[in-house]
Amino acid sequence: MLGYFSNFRFIFEDMKNILVPFDFSHHSRNALEYAAQLATKANARLCVFHAYDRSEVLEGVKVATTVSAMEDTKKKLTKQYGLSEKQVTGKVVQGEFIEEVLQFIEENKFDMIALGTRGASGLQELLVGSYTVSLMQELRHIPMLVIPEKADFIPLRNILLCSDFHEIADDDALDLVKELAMLFNADVRLAHVEKGSGNPTYDKVLEKRREMHIFEPEVDCTYKRIVAKDILSGIKFYMDKKNDNDMVAMVYREHSFIETIFGMNHTHEMAYHTTVPLLVLPEGRK
């Protein structure tokens, strides 16, 4: 029995501290509310971060008003989602957003960053140089939860984990997916998109078994091999066919298909519904 329970060493330890960069816009407020409900479920701490630049001050925007708005936001979170005052903190600073949030992260420990995307195209904003992708490129050691503007928080039932079945450097990279699955009693669907119809190589078969073994027996994990002309259309086809996926998860590493998805010269239709959050996992979290 001791060996079995040792598998729980990480449970509810990967979501102790969640950072939400916040600019008081609708899409960032939606991301904040999503993250707040996730923090309530996981009994995690939530930090709301806002950075304003000097031009706002010169144009007459009062800093005191921003600080007051942050306090109102914190009170709303505690009242609406049942978070305690100790669970919610706020930080307002002056400076350029990317620089300030990177500095803040360097000075503090966060287990996840929750970011919102705006507009009807949802996650397509990731392709056009938004601060979301800028942070993703800078912060390869922290999981990022990208929450589309139209995403509503619901208890997770199915998490779609897109894998290229190349060996992951750190076995802990998928811990957060397992933690979320166990937190909500959700299933994990391990999807692999291939352009060709040939049989998988022996190395990919081994990696598939290894990744499934990470989740079993605590989490139900199924495998789906998808053959398509390209990765984006393959994922979209599967998500249209199985429209009950509540979150998509991917490992962000160099020279992997996620870099293709976030490449600047992509004309394909986005593979994700605008209501599905995307969890971006660093390959090596140590």
| pLDDT tens track for 75-100 | 999 999 999 989 999 999 888 888 89
Distance CA 48, CA 5 (A): 34
Q: Are 112 and 15 in contact (CB under 8 A)?
A: yes
pTM, entire model? 0.82
Residues of the chain with CATH 3.40.50.620: 17-148, 158-282
- Distances from the Cα of 44 to the Cαs of 65, 75, 94, in angstroms? 28, 17, 27
Are 181 and 216 in contact by the 8 Å Cβ rule? The answer is no
User: How does pLDDT run across 180-214, given as a tens digit for each residue?
Assistant: 999 999 999 988 877 766 666 656 677 777 778 88
Q: Which CATH architecture has domain 17-148?
A: 3-Layer(aba) Sandwich (3.40)
H-only helix segments in the chain: 2-5, 26-42, 54-58, 63-81, 97-107, 131-138, 175-184, 202-215, 231-241, 257-261
pLDDT tens-digit map of 52-70: 876 655 444 556 778 888 8
Q: So what's the architecture of 158-282 in CATH?
A: 3-Layer(aba) Sandwich (3.40)
Q: Which two tokens stand for residue 63?
A: 């800093």
